[in-house]
Structure 1
Amino acid sequence: MIIRKISLAFSVFFSIAGFAQDVVKADTEIKPEVKISYLDSVKKTFVKNDLAIRVDSLWMNELTSLDIYEDLTKDIQTINKDVTVDQELPTELLKQRLQVMNEKSPFEIEYNQGLENIIKSFLKNRKKSFSRLMALSEYYFPIFEEAFAKQNVPLEIKYLAVVESALNPKAVSKMGATGLWQFMYGTGKQYDLKIDSYIDERSDALKATAAASEYMTKMFNIFGDWELVLASYNSGPGNVTKAIRRSGGKTKYWDIRNFLPRETQGYVPAFLATMYLFEFHKEHGINPERAVIKNFETDTVCIKNQMTFKQIADLLDMPQSQIELLNPSYKLKVVPFYQNEPHFLRLPKDKIATFVNNEDKIYAYAKYDSGIIKVPSRLASKITPKVKAKPKAIELPAADIQYYTVQKGDNLSVIAEKYDVSVSDIKEWNNLKGNTVALGKSLKLKSNVIVSKTAPEVIKKSEEAIASADTSDKNEIEVEYVVKNGDNLGNIAKKFGITLAELKEWNNLTSNNLASGKTLVVSKKENTIVEPTAVASASVDSFKKKPASPKSLSQDYYVKKGDSLYSISKKYPGVTISDIKKWNGIKDEDIKPGMKLKING
């Protein structure tokens, strides 16, 4: 019995000792180091705010969709106020409700058959649109009401923005009127709204609303009647004064309506019909769609260096579409930096906290990222490289093909913007001759726009020149563009995000005349090889140990289906085909899916 106990004790002892050795071995086992990008290393050091504001992606799409704007605009321009609409709404009940609205409003709201017809038309055809518009109003109406209260403008005029733009700050009419309040270029300049290559403050909710409020106040001082103020906003004060003369000196909107332009005749009734549907939506079964957040809790920060929306979205881990929504006045999705001119970025408050706490690191990364030349795929098809000798044909990866079904409100421009391709690409892929496309049609779309099957580079830079970047600190990279029929300096400058002065300076142009087929330099930048520690002025722990050179860093790349050495080299700035072949001992260009390649730099 004693021997058994001693044997059992020894067994237990050795088992515990073996287990302890396994634990020590597991604890002391060295795990392979995981390399992270500069962006991830910067974000890892961020001081983050615990507040969390998440915006549903569908809600973002609703805020930026143009289909409601197009539908409402067409309705207001074509609706016949004299045609009776079959819709359940007793006339006597409508009169009672209009009287309730009139008692609490400075507008003279009176029943007439034309107004009844428009209200019934909206109820019959646009109930779903108004449900979405009421959700949008939860963000915009508080902005409007605050601005109108400062100028003693009736708060009900907030409904005019629904008629003007369907609450879309990116709405642009056929005549060029832009923004929530649809200012023409001249009117915007008259009210000190900045409009240049980067910025269009007609799309800025705060500044455009302040300008609209100022305009309304001036017109009321002239006409003394808010209905006439609305009429003048639509057709101009000149047309209103002419209508007053032609009516024999009458000064009420309903008395001069038939002497106003056709669109203005339906404009004020459409405004009153919109007010009615917002006021009595419950009675008509219109349930406003709700967002994750009813009102954006936002703040602004003054930007000290030029930054793109993509850089901001990457750094702050937020959708770029949300940045576009909150900052619609930046036309090129870039917050510019002009000396002595402040430019502000509007963000949710928790993102503002992250931005302010990490400004130095954010600007350092933006500067680093801007040094890497990137050509968007939409522009790639428009850029023609200048190659002296005919290059050797190389294998390019096949483009991924997907199909898109045309939906209501779509046009080729909208679809092209959505998939980051050009209109001409879509027309070529689908054998389209015109710019119209039928509802429900299936369109073929390719994710990779191939510039040329023989052109080795989109940017005008030979492989030898790129390879020389290994030993040189700076290399100037030029992008060229061949002028096509219909081009002018203005639209070329806008297309490539540069100023007209830069375009003329780079090409020694003394006039604005252009010949078709002429080659222009449209980008001239220095591609600087920067070590992360040299860029980041803030303390980033992961970069305290300075690497020998960018080439000393390496990572593995696993070949995917459709890859070629050319397509892989394009994924890594400054890396050439010969580099990859040298690093991996490859003599020809034969690579297979799943093959592991070493990439230095």
Structure 2
Amino acid sequence: MTYRTIRQRLLLGAGSTVIMSLLLAAAANSQASATRFDPAPRLASNTHDASAPAHPEVTHVHFWEELMLEPQDAWSKLRESFHWRGQSLPAEAQARIDEWIDHYRSSPENVAEITERASPWLAWITQQISERNLPGELALIPFVESSFDPNARSHRGAAGLWQFMPGTGDALGLVRNGNYDGRLDVVTSTNAALDYLEMQADQWYEGDLQLSLAAYNAGAGTVNKAKQHAESQGLQGNYWNLSLPQETMHYLPKLLAIATIIDDPERYNVSLPDIHTEPAFAKVKLEHSVTLSEASTLLQVDKSALADLNPGLLNGALNPSSAQTLLVPEDVDHGVLAELSNGTDERQSVASADIPDTYRVESGDSLSVIASRYNLSAQELMRLNEIERPEALQAGQLLTLSGR
């Protein structure tokens, strides 16, 4: 079973083998994890009295009235998307999760602090995961990885909400230079992380996302060896039967523990911040450079608020050669947004010329740089040009930039 849509298969299929080889090499140098706090799926779903009254139509009206009265926020939307609640696990596996539940519930103020930090991002990340039909628990990976701090950096070199190592980020096409770091860009890195998890699940684990999560932390090579060893002992090669590095042994239990708490915060004496169901930011695509100071003045928004939403802009300015999307608070005046983007529509504003059909590679170019310049992904550029070895790109080579 696989969660990838047909569109995503077409997008990633052609270059997945090469990308996975790059990722395996990058993962050998790290277990890209930088955090101290983690999430987990909840087990209690919202239910109502199932006793049936005498008249079915009365039950029907009562049911819809119940739904209308039930408040909706980002947390309830997240809970609705949980896939792993109530899964049947061996006692030893459940004990590993319960150990982390006890750990988190012992300091509910820490959970509250991290979930508060998640406020700008949670609704949007949940939305992206839902659109891919992935388990909602994955939206809590940043709880485990970075305590939902987009600027988090580990001593090993991992960075961002999803804690990508430099080599892994490069292999996934995350642009990284003196002005911009795609690993810190929440929108770009979230899409890369979900692509990575889906790609590994399909490439190695027949769609098993729990094994892909282990590989996200320890590297696919480490997980594959542990899986082969477990199967040689007559065990099923699932996550719970594998002997892995200690950090990876804790990785999924942490995620499931925090999801359990999020699923029923009152039970665990945890207070969650109010987060609206809609994303807290709007995306403005630009073809011209702009500093955060200039945008702050035009939008009448604090520069610090823009900086918080755009941590990937290392020097406080957007340069279209590295990044084309500026995040702004969602309540910014639409007319001003249009002015910022040279008069185009506010949320989909793209002040750019039509993308040419072809591009001739210049000395010093890389796939990620070219892809970013024309608002493509490196994977899509590889697919369009049937490229299997991105490192073999040569000056003078003619690349197709569209499927036309």
Structure 2 unpaired stretches of 5+: 1-33, 48-78, 343-404
CA contact (8 A) 1:232 1:240 kept: yes
Map of 1:404 onto structure 2? none
Structure 1 unpaired stretches of 5+: 1-71, 77-94, 361-601
Question: Counterpart of 2:327 in 1: which secondary structure?
Answer: strand
Map of 1:312 onto structure 2? 295
* Paired residues for 1:58-457 under 5 Å: 73-74=35-36, 105-106=83-84, 108=87, 110=89, 111=91, 112-125=94-107, 127-221=108-202, 222-224=204-206, 225-249=208-232, 250=235, 251-256=237-242, 259-290=243-274, 297-338=280-321, 343-348=324-329, 349-357=331-339
Question: Counterpart of 1:207 in 2: which secondary structure?
Answer: helix
Kindly provide the amino acid, as one letter, of the partner of residue 254 in structure 1: W
Q: CA deviation at 1:117?
A: 1.7
CA contact (8 A) 2:43 2:260 kept: no
Give CA-to-partner distance per residue, 1:91-142, whole Å, 9 cap, x none: xxxx9859x99x96247453532322211111113x1121233334443222
CA contact (8 A) 2:299 2:337 kept: yes
TM-aligned CA distance change 1:343 to 1:289, over 3 Å: same
* Paired residues for 1:551-566 under 5 Å: none
Give CA-to-partner distance per residue, 1:544-580, whole Å, 9 cap, x none: xxxxxxxxxxxxxxxxxxxxxxxxxxxxxxxxxxxxx
Query: What is the CA–CA distance in structure 2 between the aligned matches of 1:317 and 1:104, rounded to whole Å?
Result: 38
CA contact (8 A) 2:286 2:341 kept: no
Query: What is the CA–CA distance in structure 2 between the aligned matches of 1:105 and 1:212, rounded to whole Å?
Result: 19
Structure number with the bigger relative contact order (C-alpha 8 A, sep ≥ 6) is 2
Number of matched pairs:
264
CA contact (8 A) 2:180 2:323 kept: no
Give CA-to-partner distance per residue, 1:25-77, whole Å, 9 cap, x none: xxxxxxxxxxxxxxxxxxxxxxxxxxxxxxxxxxxxxxxxxxxxxxx93467x
Question: Counterpart of 1:272 in 2: which secondary structure?
Answer: helix
TM-aligned CA distance change 1:129 to 1:265, over 3 Å: same
Question: Counterpart of 1:310 in 2: which secondary structure?
Answer: helix
Question: Counterpart of 1:139 in 2: which secondary structure?
Answer: coil
Query: What is the CA–CA distance in structure 1 between the aligned matches of 2:323 and 2:251, rounded to whole Å?
Result: 38
Query: What is the CA–CA distance in structure 2 between the aligned matches of 1:342 and 1:244, rounded to whole Å?
Result: 39
Q: CA deviation at 1:320?
A: 1.4
CA contact (8 A) 1:307 1:334 kept: yes
TM-aligned CA distance change 1:356 to 1:105, over 3 Å: closer
Give CA-to-partner distance per residue, 1:500-524, whole Å, 9 cap, x none: xxxxxxxxxxxxxxxxxxxxxxxxx
TM-aligned CA distance change 1:75 to 1:356, over 3 Å: closer
Q: CA deviation at 1:352?
A: 5.0
RMSD of Structure 2 on Structure 1 (CA): 3.2
CA contact (8 A) 1:202 1:329 kept: yes
TM-aligned CA distance change 1:152 to 1:247, over 3 Å: same
Question: Counterpart of 2:177 in 1: which secondary structure?
Answer: coil
TM-score by length of structure 2 reads 0.58
Query: What is the CA–CA distance in structure 2 between the aligned matches of 1:359 and 1:137, rounded to whole Å?
Result: 28
Give CA-to-partner distance per residue, 1:204-236, whole Å, 9 cap, x none: 222211111111112222213222111111001
Which moves more between the two structures, 296-305 or 189-198?
A: 296-305
Kindly provide the amino acid, as one letter, of the partner of residue 186 in structure 2: A
Question: Counterpart of 1:299 in 2: which secondary structure?
Answer: strand
Query: What is the CA–CA distance in structure 1 between the aligned matches of 2:111 and 2:220, rounded to whole Å?
Result: 30
Q: CA deviation at 1:261?
A: 0.7
Question: Counterpart of 2:284 in 1: which secondary structure?
Answer: strand
TM-aligned CA distance change 1:322 to 1:358, over 3 Å: closer
Map of 1:8 onto structure 2? none
Question: Counterpart of 2:332 in 1: which secondary structure?
Answer: helix
Q: CA deviation at 1:305?
A: 4.0
Kindly provide the amino acid, as one letter, of the partner of residue 196 in structure 1: N
CA contact (8 A) 2:146 2:162 kept: yes
Is the radius of gyration larger for structure 1 or structure 2? Answer: 1
CA contact (8 A) 1:135 1:288 kept: yes
CA contact (8 A) 2:181 2:312 kept: yes
TM-aligned CA distance change 1:243 to 1:96, over 3 Å: same
Query: What is the CA–CA distance in structure 2 between the aligned matches of 1:75 and 1:105, rounded to whole Å?
Result: 21
Query: What is the CA–CA distance in structure 2 between the aligned matches of 1:179 and 1:96, rounded to whole Å?
Result: 29
Question: Counterpart of 1:345 in 2: which secondary structure?
Answer: strand
Q: CA deviation at 1:175?
A: 1.1
Q: CA deviation at 1:300?
A: 3.1
Question: Counterpart of 2:106 in 1: which secondary structure?
Answer: helix
CA contact (8 A) 1:308 1:333 kept: yes
Query: What is the CA–CA distance in structure 2 between the aligned matches of 1:247 and 1:359, rounded to whole Å?
Result: 55
CA contact (8 A) 1:306 1:336 kept: yes
Which moves more between the two structures, 177-186 or 129-138?
A: 129-138
TM-aligned CA distance change 1:319 to 1:238, over 3 Å: same
Query: What is the CA–CA distance in structure 1 between the aligned matches of 2:271 and 2:147, rounded to whole Å?
Result: 17
Query: What is the CA–CA distance in structure 2 between the aligned matches of 1:192 and 1:122, rounded to whole Å?
Result: 35
Query: What is the CA–CA distance in structure 2 between the aligned matches of 1:342 and 1:286, rounded to whole Å?
Result: 38
Query: What is the CA–CA distance in structure 2 between the aligned matches of 1:73 and 1:297, rounded to whole Å?
Result: 24
* Paired residues for 1:530-545 under 5 Å: none
